[in-house]
Structure 1
Amino acid sequence: MDANDGFRRLDRRECLALLATVPTGRIVYTRQALPAVLPVNFCLDHDGAVVVRTSVSSELASAIDGAVVAFEADEVDAAAHSGWSVVALGLATLVTDPVEHARLLRTGPRSWAPAPREVFVRIAQELVTGRELVGGRTLYGVDLSS
């Protein structure tokens, strides 16, 4: 755990392993000069990139293509007062290569809201950070484990 905040920093390998365990996360991007957050289902590709499937005409596809975005996923156990959070920062690009698109049709995420024409967005992870809170600790003398 870190000295002052009760959280343990996660290394890149741990972050990627945790991301692979959850089906949803959030993309943080800029919409009309303001921050926007959108929940999405995703998968990790073979190189660790986050891959999202969306409608070709979606606001998301046009807003993030070629932009640096943040992607966050987490898991929380409220009863145990524990959990983790991972944030990945990187360049988002539409997958335009036909061979790559065909591969992702077979192996990539499935849309929860299918559209007639879909595209894949790849977020190359330039910086990945994470932290974990382990349950059962006390805060100001109060036992949070019960």
Structure 2
Amino acid sequence: MEDRRSLRELSRSDALRLLASVAVGRVVFTQRALPAIRPVNHVVTDGLVVFGTHDDSAVSAEVGRARGIVIAYEADEIDVASRTGWSVVVTGLATRVGESALADRYRQLLHPWVGTPNHVITLQPRLVTGFRLVPDLPPAALSAPRPTS
């Protein structure tokens, strides 16, 4: 029997909930007119995706050049053995949070792998897409009566 999978689209709220359940994702931005991708750790709070950067990071330099730039952020959780999982992409405007109590609060929420971040960047989600990879159920399983309690 063939072991098939289907992609099921996630709602915005489910996608953001799944994104909040993992600590690491990939920020996608433009560097010298070319796409660039960097892994970073993040938190989802206040309706934003928040991550930290250091002075010498490429994404920090790009976001710092303007009052905000459009970036994408992707995270996933894939089980290779069962061939199931999910992937979420958030696209929106990234801005640096100025030195403030808010920036300090975000730094406390983050758990960076390399030192304390010099800068805090927020991503305001505009477009949120996500998919869950699930096993296909045989037609009989879809129409089988559910047990009652």
TM-score w.r.t. the length of structure 2 is 0.80
The 2-side partners of 1:44 and 1:126 are apart by: 14
How many residue pairs are counted as aligned between the two chains? 131
Name the Cα RMSD after superposition: 1.9
Matches within 5 A, 1:89-108: 89-106=91-108, 108=109
Deviation, 1:60, is: 1.6
Matches within 5 A, 1:1-146: 6-45=6-45, 47-65=46-64, 66-106=68-108, 108-114=109-115, 118-135=118-135
Q: Identity over the aligned pairs, expressed in percent?
A: 40
Residue 125 of structure 2 aligns to a residue whose secondary structure is coil
The 2-side partners of 1:58 and 1:6 are apart by: 38
The 1-side partners of 2:80 and 2:106 are apart by: 35
TM-score w.r.t. the length of structure 1 is 0.82
Equivalent pair of 2:31/2:58 in contact (CA under 8 Å): no
The 2-side partners of 1:79 and 1:103 are apart by: 38
Structure having the larger proportion of residues in helix: 2
The 2-side partners of 1:119 and 1:22 are apart by: 21
Equivalent pair of 2:69/2:93 in contact (CA under 8 Å): yes
The 2-side partners of 1:64 and 1:98 are apart by: 18
Deviation, 1:59, is: 1.9
The 2-side partners of 1:67 and 1:85 are apart by: 23
- Which structure would you say has the larger Rg? 2
Deviation, 1:84, is: 0.5
Equivalent pair of 1:56/1:119 in contact (CA under 8 Å): yes
Equivalent pair of 1:73/1:86 in contact (CA under 8 Å): yes
Partner amino acid, structure 2, of 1:36? A
Equivalent pair of 2:6/2:136 in contact (CA under 8 Å): no
Equivalent pair of 1:80/1:136 in contact (CA under 8 Å): no
Structure 1 residue ranges (4+ consecutive) displaced by more than 6 angstroms after TM superposition: none
The 1-side partners of 2:83 and 2:44 are apart by: 27
Partner amino acid, structure 2, of 1:113? V
Q: Give 1:143's aligned residue.
A: none
The 2-side partners of 1:74 and 1:24 are apart by: 9
Equivalent pair of 2:7/2:133 in contact (CA under 8 Å): yes
The 1-side partners of 2:133 and 2:88 are apart by: 12
The 1-side partners of 2:111 and 2:99 are apart by: 19
Q: For structure 1, which runs of at least 5 residues remain unmatched after alignment?
A: 139-146
